[in-house]
């Protein structure tokens, strides 16, 4: 087997097209022995495929190879090069068998194996997304070479094994699975271990839930809500589409150390297991879980039944699932306010991504290879795409929208399709020519800026200079003269300037209900008026729109941090939606206060607003919980924090659970008011996986050189830790006020980042680059080092993309500091 220090090849779109033209994959048969040892497993794959004859390659990332045979003839394992094994196929049927030993992974990709610190039990799950499948089995790893799979698994005798198709244990530790429906490689999964299992059934669909044994009681507590939402969502999707869920069982597995929120694997959806709540949570947390559940269910049609042909159409998966997940959650579950949650929790993710130098179109996003495509799973593909689909639905009508979707599912059932295929289905269903819509909204990057020009009596539309487009916006406008409540107007902006007259002294909020996709920022007159208006604005969705406008203005250095703090002081004490607290206060604490001229004073103002809300919130409410979370995270009073930690001085209705205990301990660590011994003792009390992650966050937050070195060793890979601990170490290392301790690591970051390709890959490679970025080093010198690294020849693509985005963020923070907080 050829060896090299170079990273694995990333599949090019042109290569995928050539392989798709050459091959038709008929089936996969995969045998996995998970019982041999804790570090590795045997994987034997038989792929049957037809070929027109000629040279191609199969994707394979093993630890070592036992045997490879193509049509009965041995292939030299040394031909394997950076994840590719060349094949010389014959015209007609071919059979490839690969017998290999694979490594269990701990980065949330491939076949991930973890040990639950609570009880020492081992758990495994498969995450095949993008380019991880070849580290589990040999395959032609691209979305348009679908095939059915048959799995045979040997596991320890006390393990449960669940996969994409129904399976059963035929003898001790031996599991046989039925042949699946045709799947893309990135959908293939197994969930194996001594999982706690709950079974149910709805409308002929076998349902299942599973989680680690140590959180079995928490799953029991949440099961009724999870299963109720599952039933409600299935009923609604069946009503909307008229096409039944086609993949047999529907199992929802909550698995440890999962990178994403969830993955839509047909028959066996995987979720990050913090979504099984082990501490008390806010209503916003529950809505987030509900929309995630509905999102993954939408994927069973948008993505699984019909799959994009290539990653440049990944929006066909994510934008639709995002839109349908929010819509169905709002329409049929107890969380009718899901769109308000979406505005608070998701809108800024998409808007900020769309303003970065790395912005890209929603569709046709330039995914020349799989690695580039992975970077485009961002707020544009999810939030922006969802918003545009919502606009399209309004424009063509729900009946046409759904008829077109149904035609798309029917025409391409179990196959692959493109954006053009989908829009052809909509046009067949009765929509007018949609080419202008797709060109301006989906194939052109960047948001228009909509701004009120009071002197001209017009709303001005400015497209991004690098991405000109002629977009038509229909939106509502909130107007409030002094002493009056809001009135709502509706306008259509269809040119550079659209007449709109507003009183010179009135507050004017463009698009408060987020009817369109655009960058809107309140002008100075409106910002001044909002201090009095926002506290008495009763429409929660409008409040979300107002806060998003303020956050956008801050992102673009168009509002003074002091003005934001005045809004916090006025509005937060009377807020009644914990989503507003959960979305706004971490931003205010972590960014607005950090960039204020007087940081301690700013943090104190935020803290007092949180305490005022805590006094006003009903006892035992999730609003009270959210207020306390933010109060703890903004406190600079160690005595108060310790009193809370001991249970003294707590408001009625609150109790200190694992989440609140560690939130307080992390804050004490930031303040330097605890030490390693105290943190170690706290971990001994409850050595769960969640506690270990929070312990990591606390230790990395300590204001001493040893703590920073401890965190840095995780970045370089000197200390190998699972992904959640890696994230906690990176995000906690760079604390405002600790710059003298972290300054030595600024230069080290730029020197050592390129070498991290030797210790991690995939999502975690780029994520770690973001987590450990020196975001508190607000100096032109740091910007110079960023720009030099971006220009470095040979820098891995996802690392370059991350540094580009983080450089943009650093530039924007410097702009706020220089404009408003310079001494």
The residues carrying an active-site annotation are 296
238 touches 245 (CB < 8 A): yes
CA pair distance 791, 182, nearest whole angstrom: 43
- As a whole number of Å, the CA-based R_g of the chain is 27
Could you give the CA distance from residue 187 to residue 143 in angstroms, rounded to a whole number?
Answer: 9
Q: How far apart are CA 212 and CA 449, in angstroms?
A: 48
Query: Helix, strand, coil % (nearest 5) of the chain?
Result: 45, 20, 30
Q: What are the structure tokens assigned to 595, written together? A: 């960039």
Q: Which residue is it, tokens 């495509």? A: 373
**Cα–Cα distance between 222 and 162 in angstroms, integer?**
21
What is d(CA 244, CA 487) in angstroms, rounded to the nearest whole number? 44
Query: In 486-573, which residue ranges form alpha helices assigned H by DSSP?
Result: 524-533, 540-555, 561-571
Q: Measured between alpha carbons, how far apart are the two ends of the chain, in Å?
A: 61
Is residue 207 classed as helix, strand or coil in its secondary structure? strand
The one-character DSSP state at 465 is T
Widest Cα–Cα separation across the chain: 85
Look up tokens 């659209």; give the residue: 498
Q: H or E stretch including 787? A: helix 780-790
Closest by CA to 666, choosing from 699, 708, 714, is 699
- The answer to whether residues 212 and 196 touch, using CB atoms and an 8 Å cutoff, is yes
Contact 441, 362 (CB under 8 A): yes
Task: With CA atoms as reference, report the closest residue to 185 among 76, 49, 53.
Answer: 49
Angle between helices 347-355 and 338-345 (to 10 degrees): 40
Beta strands in 203-284 (DSSP E): 205-211, 250-255, 262-263, 268-272
Residue 64 burial (CB count, 10 A): 11
Q: Within 13 Å, how many C-alpha atoms sit on residue 539's CB side?
A: 15
Q: Can you say whether residue 581 is alpha, beta or left, with left for phi > 0 and alpha for psi between -120 and 50 degrees? A: alpha
In angstroms, the CA 470 to CA 463 distance is 8
For tokens 């509706």, name the residue: 490
The conformation of residue 534, written as its DSSP 8-state character, comes to G
| Residue 1 to residue 101: CA distance in whole angstroms | 13
List of residues 6+ apart from 239 with CB closer than 8 A: none
Give the separation between CA 56 and CA 25, rounded to whole angstroms. Answer: 13
Work out the number of other CB atoms within 10 angstroms of the CB of residue 48. Answer: 15
Give the CA distances from residue 734 to residues 116, 702, 706, 777, in Å, rounded to whole numbers and listed in that order. Answer: 28, 10, 14, 9
What distance in Å separates the CA atoms of residue 722 and residue 107, rounded to the nearest whole number?
6
61 Cβ neighbours under 8 A, 6+ residues apart:
8, 83, 102, 110, 134, 135
344-362 burial, b for 16+ CB within 10 Å, e for fewer? bbbbbebbbbbbbebbbbb
Closest alpha carbon to 121 in 36, 188, 195, 200:
195
**DSSP state, residue 369:** B
Q: What is the pairing mode between strands 262-263 and 205-211?
A: unpaired
């Amino acid at each position: 087997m050829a060896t090299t220090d170079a990273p694995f090849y990333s599949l090019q779109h042109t290569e995928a097209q050539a392989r798709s033209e050459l091959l038709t994959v008929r089936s996969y048969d995969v045998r996995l022995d998970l019982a041999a040892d804790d570090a590795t497993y045997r994987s034997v794959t038989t792929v049957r495929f037809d070929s027109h004859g000629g040279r191609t390659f199969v994707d394979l990332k093993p630890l070592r190879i036992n045997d490879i045979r193509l049509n009965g003839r041995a292939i030299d394992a040394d031909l394997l090069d950076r994840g590719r094994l060349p094949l010389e196929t014959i015209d007609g049927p071919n059979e490839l068998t690969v017998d290999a030993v694979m490594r269990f992974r701990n980065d949330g990709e491939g076949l991930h194996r973890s040990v639950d610190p609570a009880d020492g039990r081992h758990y495994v799950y498969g995450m095949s997304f993008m380019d991880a499948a070849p580290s589990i089995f040999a395959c032609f790893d691209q979305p348009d070479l679908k095939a059915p799979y048959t799995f045979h698994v040997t596991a320890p005798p006390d393990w449960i094994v669940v996969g994409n198709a129904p399976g059963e244990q035929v003898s001790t530790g031996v599991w046989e699975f039925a042949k699946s429906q045709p799947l893309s490689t990135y959908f293939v999964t197994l969930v194996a271990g001594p999982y706690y299992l709950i079974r149910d059934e709805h409308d002929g669909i076998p349902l299942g839930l599973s989680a680690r044994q140590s959180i079995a009681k928490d799953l029991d507590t949440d099961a009724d809500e999870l299963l109720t939402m599952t039933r409600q969502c299935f009923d609604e999707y069946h009503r909307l589409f008229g096409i039944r869920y086609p993949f047999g069982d529907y199992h929802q597995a909550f698995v440890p150390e999962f990178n994403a929120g969830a993955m839509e694997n047909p028959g066996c959806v995987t979720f990050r297991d913090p979504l099984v709540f082990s501490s008390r949570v806010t209503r916003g947390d529950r809505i987030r879980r509900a929309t995630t559940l509905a999102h993954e269910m939408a994927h069973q049609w948008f993505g699984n039944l019909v799959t994009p042909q290539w990653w440049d159409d990944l929006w066909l998966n994510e934008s639709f699932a995002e839109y349908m997940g929010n819509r169905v959650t709002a329409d049929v579950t107890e969380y009718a306010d899901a769109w308000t949650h979406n505005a608070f929790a998701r809108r800024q993710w998409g808007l900020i991504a769309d303003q970065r130098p790395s912005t890209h179109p929603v569709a046709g996003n330039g995914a020349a290879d799989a690695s580039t495509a992975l970077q485009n799973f961002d707020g544009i593909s999810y939030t922006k795409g969802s918003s545009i689909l919502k606009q399209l639905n309004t424009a063509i009508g729900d009946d046409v929208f759904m008829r077109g979707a149904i035609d798309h599912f029917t025409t391409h059932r179990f196959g692959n399709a493109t954006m053009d295929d989908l829009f052809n289905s909509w046009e067949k269903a009765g929509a007018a020519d949609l080419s202008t819509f797709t060109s301006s909204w989906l194939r052109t990057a960047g948001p228009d800026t909509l701004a009120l020009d009071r002197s001209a009596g017009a709303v001005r539309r400015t497209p991004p200079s690098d991405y000109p487009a002629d977009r038509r916006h229909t939106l509502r406008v909130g107007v409030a003269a002094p002493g009056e409540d809001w009135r709502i107007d509706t306008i259509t902006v269809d040119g550079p300037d659209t007449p709109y007259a507003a009183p010179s002294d009135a507050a004017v909020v463009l698009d408060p209900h987020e009817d369109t996709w655009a960058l809107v920022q309140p002008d100075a007159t409106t910002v001044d008026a909002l201090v009095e208006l926002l506290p008495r604005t009763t429409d929660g969705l409008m409040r979300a729109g107002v806060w998003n406008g303020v956050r956008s203005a801050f992102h673009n250095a168009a509002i003074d941090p002091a003005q934001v703090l005045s809004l916090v002081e006025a509005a937060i004490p009377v807020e009644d939606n914990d989503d507003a607290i959960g979305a706004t206060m971490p931003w205010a604490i972590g960014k607005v206060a950090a960039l204020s001229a007087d940081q301690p004073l700013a943090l104190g103002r935020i803290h007092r607003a949180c305490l005022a809300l805590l006094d006003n919130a009903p006892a035992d409410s999730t609003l009270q919980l959210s207020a306390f979370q933010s109060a703890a995270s903004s406190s600079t009073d160690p005595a108060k924090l310790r009193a809370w930690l001991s249970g003294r001085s707590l408001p009625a209705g609150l109790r200190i659970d694992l989440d609140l205990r560690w939130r307080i301990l992390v804050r004490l660590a930031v303040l330097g008011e605890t030490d390693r011994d105290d943190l170690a003792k706290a971990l001994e009390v409850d050595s769960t996986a969640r506690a270990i992650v929070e312990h990591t966050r606390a230790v990395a937050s300590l204001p001493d050189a040893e703590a920073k070195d401890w965190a840095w060793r995780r970045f370089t890979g000197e200390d190998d830790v699972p992904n959640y601990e890696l994230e906690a170490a990176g995000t906690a290392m760079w604390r405002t006020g600790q710059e003298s301790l972290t300054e030595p690591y600024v230069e080290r970051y730029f020197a050592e980042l390129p070498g991290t390709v030797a210790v991690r890959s995939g999502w975690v490679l780029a994520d770690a680059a973001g987590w450990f970025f020196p975001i508190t080093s607000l100096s032109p010198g740091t910007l110079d080092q960023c720009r030099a690294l971006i220009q470095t020849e040979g820098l891995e693509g996802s690392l370059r993309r991350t540094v580009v985005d983080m450089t943009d963020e650093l530039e924007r923070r410097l702009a706020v500091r220089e404009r408003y907080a310079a001494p």
